[in-house]
Amino acid sequence: MREVGFEHDAIEASVAGYTAPSAMRRKPNVEQRRRDLCDAAIELLAAEGARGLTHLRVDRHAGFADGTTSFYYQTRSALLRGAIDRVIELDVADFIDAVDATRDGEIDSLLSHLAEHAMRTAVEPERSRARARFELMMIAARDPELKAVFENLMDRFVAISEAAVAQVQPAGTPPDPALVKEQAFAVVTFLGGFLFRLAYGIAHLDRPERLEAHLRGVIAGVAAEHARINSVTS
């Protein structure tokens, strides 16, 4: 969400310092230009896979002059890392949004917010981001540096999943850390497969409430199996 006051100050500053285009040419916002190029790269990865990603195609897809992408990302590896960083930036923003939404006495659980965010993968631009993420993860599997970046993102997702699972434990009993980890692993695994299906149009859930019900079923099933195993071994 934009800060209105900040935006207003920025407009005032730009008006106060305005110079006619013929007298001074505006310099591009470097960070915004990088974001625009990475967004274009994400869309190309989603539509055509890794083979469709070239510097020139990113230039033209983003509507910039030929050579722009090569100026900001000199190599293909640099361009891929830029796309990964942009995907992670957007993913982390979603994670923070889901966590923040459950603070300050919110009634809805973190699990419900995760389900809501997951369902957005069915529509753009989240669908393209998800498809690009899967393409980039396949590339990262063969590149130790890129793999480490994705592992850090997965660690964040697991931590949020553990927090979501801990929230829905039965009232009156302290959470069992080992059980919570098992349940979070199952939730992450389930969501990973579901997001893949949703991104490619082969999932058939249409409401976040239904997805949340499935997640609660997964959590309950792991708890029941955990109890059964403990009763047998004790």
**pLDDT per residue as tens, the chain (234 positions):** 334 343 334 323 333 343 334 434 556 689 999 999 999 999 999 999 999 999 999 999 999 999 999 999 999 999 999 999 999 999 988 888 877 776 655 556 899 999 999 999 999 999 999 999 999 999 999 998 889 888 988 998 999 999 999 999 988 888 899 999 999 999 999 999 999 999 998 888 889 999 999 999 999 999 999 888 878 776
> Domain-by-domain residue ranges, the chain?
84-233
Query: Burial letters for 81-120: b for 16+ Cβ neighbours within 10 Å, e otherwise?
Result: bbbbebbbebbeebbeebbeebeeeeeeebbbbbbbbbbb
Contact (Cβ atoms closer than 8 angstroms) between residue 47 and residue 65: no
What pLDDT, on the 0 to 100 scale, is given for residue 216?
Answer: 95
Pairwise CA distance, residues 51 & 139, whole Å: 11
Q: Can you name the CATH fold of 84-233?
A: Tetracycline Repressor; domain 2 (1.10.357)
What pLDDT, on the 0 to 100 scale, is given for residue 10?
Answer: 37
Pairwise CA distance, residues 187 & 158, whole Å: 9
pTM for the full predicted model: 0.77
Cβ count near 157 (within 10 Å): 18
